[in-house]
């Protein structure tokens, strides 16, 4: 189409100006894509950590435990639930977990503790605590007297591998004090103050014995290899193990505060990027307006020889659209290269922040990897083109209001 050809030639009439404006669009978009990639990577990391340590892709819990977290809100028949899930999902890892709060004492000191009773070999698959051991060994599944604790807890109790500690808590009915002696088998360091200072891991059987309730758990978590398949896994699990008094939840429902945090963070990111888009749009508006004003006489001539004002407006819109497409192509190319780098190598903040950082109760690596979020990136590329076209709309409208004789009088 000829209008397209004319628009292209007009753009390259002042090549330097076009190049500078396209570069502004491109660098703005590349920066936005980089931020989207970083956010996507961070969210993926948070979700992965949240799912692995706080829940699973699908969790089976007692009705109400999600909101209240009372120790007596238990899933009964946890062994059978776990066995059913293992049979139905042979590729998956199933971790029945019992969370107990209490006091732990050594010969020298005592401290508050959050004890997680679970299947150690399964936790080693889904959690990263086993990789963070700085002393001792990971717990064996039948080691009902062994306990793994965080480094700060070990420091405050002044205990080492092999030392004895005593856990003190209450029975499930909360009517009696109970205690149990453990030996420290391993000490981990995650960098997270809560995990390192309060968390301990023992076997599920040990925790069940403590509260004198065999075959119970607060949560039976199913971890599947492909997170994208969790809706189907949830539907299947729901069918198999659903029972009165039990909740079968998919991870977004099991981790509502994390999901909300990510949503809020994403929206605030969008707001920031919209502000940046506005700044770029102002630059584009300036360019298009300048190029329209300096060609006012030429537009007058085009109207004089019979071009309709609306078609002239379309020409200007087309010029801005082409500018937007050009800037977006270059921006997408560079933005994608940056994201590809972030996906492959990440950004290492460990020199500045140490090896880990804590966010929303999760311990995350300070080597931050990016991730591809094609939907969101595509939306930003599209938005860039739309914003550029909109920036040309006012100059285009201005043109359609001109009388040819006034336009031709312009210098």
Partner 1 sequence: MSIVSVRGLVRHYQQGDITVKALDGVDFDLEPGEFTTLMGPSGSGKTTLLNQIGGLDQPDAGTITIDGTEISKLSSSQLADVRLRKLGFVFQSYNLVPVLSAYENAEFVLLLQGMPPAERKKRVMETLHAVGLQGMEHRRPGELSGGQQQRVAVARAIAGRPALVLADEPTANLDSKTSESLIDLMRTLNAEHGITFLFSTHDPRIMDAAKRVIRMEDGKITNDERKA
Q: Is 305 in the site for partner 1 (CB under 8 A)?
A: yes
The nearest distance, CB 391 to partner 1, in angstroms, is 22
Which of 10, 287, 332, 388 lies at the binding interface for partner 1 (CB under 8 A)? 10
| Footprint on residues 368-407 left by partner 1 (CB under 8 A) | 403-405
Q: Is 13 in the site for partner 1 (CB under 8 A)?
A: yes
Q: How many helices (H) and strands (E) does the chain have?
A: 16, 16
Q: Degrees (nearest 5) of the Cα angle 58, 63, 68?
A: 100
Which of 15, 90, 306, 351 lies at the binding interface for partner 1 (CB under 8 A)? 306
The nearest distance, CB 290 to partner 1, in angstroms, is 17
Which of 309, 327, 370, 392 lies at the binding interface for partner 1 (CB under 8 A)? 309
The nearest distance, CB 321 to partner 1, in angstroms, is 18
Which of 49, 104, 302, 317 lies at the binding interface for partner 1 (CB under 8 A)? 302
The answer to whether 151 and 188 are in contact (CB under 8 A) is: yes
| Phi and psi at residue 6, to the nearest 5° | -65, -40
Name which of 141 and 298 has its Cβ closer to partner 1. 298
Q: Is 408 in the site for partner 1 (CB under 8 A)?
A: yes
Which of 257, 308, 340, 382 lies at the binding interface for partner 1 (CB under 8 A)? 308
Q: Is 108 in the site for partner 1 (CB under 8 A)?
A: no
**Number of amino acids touching partner 1 (CB under 8 A):** 22
Q: Residue 76: helix, strand or coil by DSSP? A: strand
CA pair distance 213, 206, nearest whole angstrom: 10
Show the tokens assigned to 234.
């949830």
Q: Is 69 in the site for partner 1 (CB under 8 A)?
A: no
Eight-class DSSP state of 244: T
The answer to whether 342 and 34 are in contact (CB under 8 A) is: yes
Rounded to whole angstroms, what are the CA distances from 167 to 170, 178, 212, 390?
10, 8, 14, 66
CA pair distance 30, 36, nearest whole angstrom: 10
Which of 6, 178, 325, 359 lies at the binding interface for partner 1 (CB under 8 A)? 6
Name which of 302 and 368 has its Cβ closer to partner 1. 302
Which of 276, 307, 343, 393 lies at the binding interface for partner 1 (CB under 8 A)? 307
Name which of 346 and 404 has its Cβ closer to partner 1. 404
The nearest distance, CB 319 to partner 1, in angstroms, is 11
Q: Is 304 in the site for partner 1 (CB under 8 A)?
A: yes
The nearest distance, CB 14 to partner 1, in angstroms, is 11
Q: Are strands 199-203 and 110-118 parallel, antiparallel or unpaired?
A: parallel
The answer to whether 188 and 133 are in contact (CB under 8 A) is: yes
Name which of 335 and 392 has its Cβ closer to partner 1. 392
The nearest distance, CB 309 to partner 1, in angstroms, is 5
| Footprint on residues 311-350 left by partner 1 (CB under 8 A) | 311
Name which of 269 and 404 has its Cβ closer to partner 1. 404
Residue holding tokens 């069918």?
Answer: 239
CA pair distance 327, 230, nearest whole angstrom: 38
CA pair distance 307, 301, nearest whole angstrom: 9
Name which of 91 and 401 has its Cβ closer to partner 1. 401
The nearest distance, CB 286 to partner 1, in angstroms, is 21
Q: Are strands 146-150 and 199-203 parallel, antiparallel or unpaired?
A: antiparallel
Contacts 24+ apart (CB under 8 A), 3-8: 3/311, 3/314, 3/315, 3/318, 4/318, 4/322, 6/315, 7/315, 7/318, 7/319, 7/322, 8/322
Name which of 13 and 108 has its Cβ closer to partner 1. 13
Q: Is 293 in the site for partner 1 (CB under 8 A)?
A: no
**Residues near partner 1 (CB under 8 A):** 2, 6, 9-10, 13, 297-298, 301-311, 403-405, 408
């Amino acid at each position: 189409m000829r209008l397209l050809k004319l628009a292209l030639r007009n753009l390259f009439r002042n090549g330097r100006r076009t190049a500078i404006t396209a570069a502004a669009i491109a660098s703005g978009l590349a920066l936005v894509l980089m931020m989207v990639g970083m956010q996507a990577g961070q969210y993926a990391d948070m979700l992965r950590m949240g799912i692995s340590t706080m829940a699973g892709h699908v969790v089976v819990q007692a009705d109400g435990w999600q909101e209240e977290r009372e120790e007596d809100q238990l899933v009964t028949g946890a062994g059978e639930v776990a066995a059913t899930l293992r049979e139905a999902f042979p590729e998956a890892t199933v971790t029945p977990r019992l969370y107990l709060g209490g006091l732990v004492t050594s010969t020298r000191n005592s401290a508050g503790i959050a004890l997680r009773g679970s299947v150690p070999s399964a936790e080693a698959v889904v959690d990263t605590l086993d990789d963070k051991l700085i002393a001792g060994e990971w717990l064996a599944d039948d080691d009902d007297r062994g306990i793994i604790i965080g480094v700060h807890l070990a420091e405050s109790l002044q205990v080492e591998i092999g030392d004895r500690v005593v856990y003190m808590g209450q029975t499930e009915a909360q009517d009696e004090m109970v205690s149990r002696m453990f030996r420290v088998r391993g000490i981990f360091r995650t960098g997270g103050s809560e995990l390192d200072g309060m968390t301990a891991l023992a076997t599920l059987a040990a925790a069940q014995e403590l509260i004198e309730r065999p075959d119970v758990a607060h949560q039976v978590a199913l971890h599947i290899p492909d997170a994208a398949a969790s809706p189907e896994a949830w539907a299947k699990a729901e069918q198999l193990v659903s029972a009165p008094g039990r909740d079968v939840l998919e991870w977004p429902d099991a981790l509502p505060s994390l999901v909300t945090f990510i949503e809020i963070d994403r929206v605030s990111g969008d707001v920031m990027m919209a502000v940046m888009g506005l700044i770029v749009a102002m630059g584009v508006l300036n360019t298009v307006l300048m190029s329209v004003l300096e060609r006012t006489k030429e537009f007058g001539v085009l109207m004089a020889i019979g071009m309709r004002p609306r078609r002239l407006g379309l020409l200007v819109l087309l010029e801005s659209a082409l500018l937007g497409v050009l800037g977006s192509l270059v921006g997408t190319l560079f933005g994608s290269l940056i994201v590809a780098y972030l996906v492959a190598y990440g950004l290492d903040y460990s020199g500045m922040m140490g090896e880990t950082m804590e966010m929303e109760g999760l311990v995350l690596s300070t080597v931050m990897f990016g991730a591809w979020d094609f939907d969101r990136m595509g939306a930003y590329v599209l938005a860039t083109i739309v914003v550029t076209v909109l920036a040309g709309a006012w100059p285009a409208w201005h043109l359609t209001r001109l009388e040819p004789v006034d336009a031709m009088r312009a210098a």
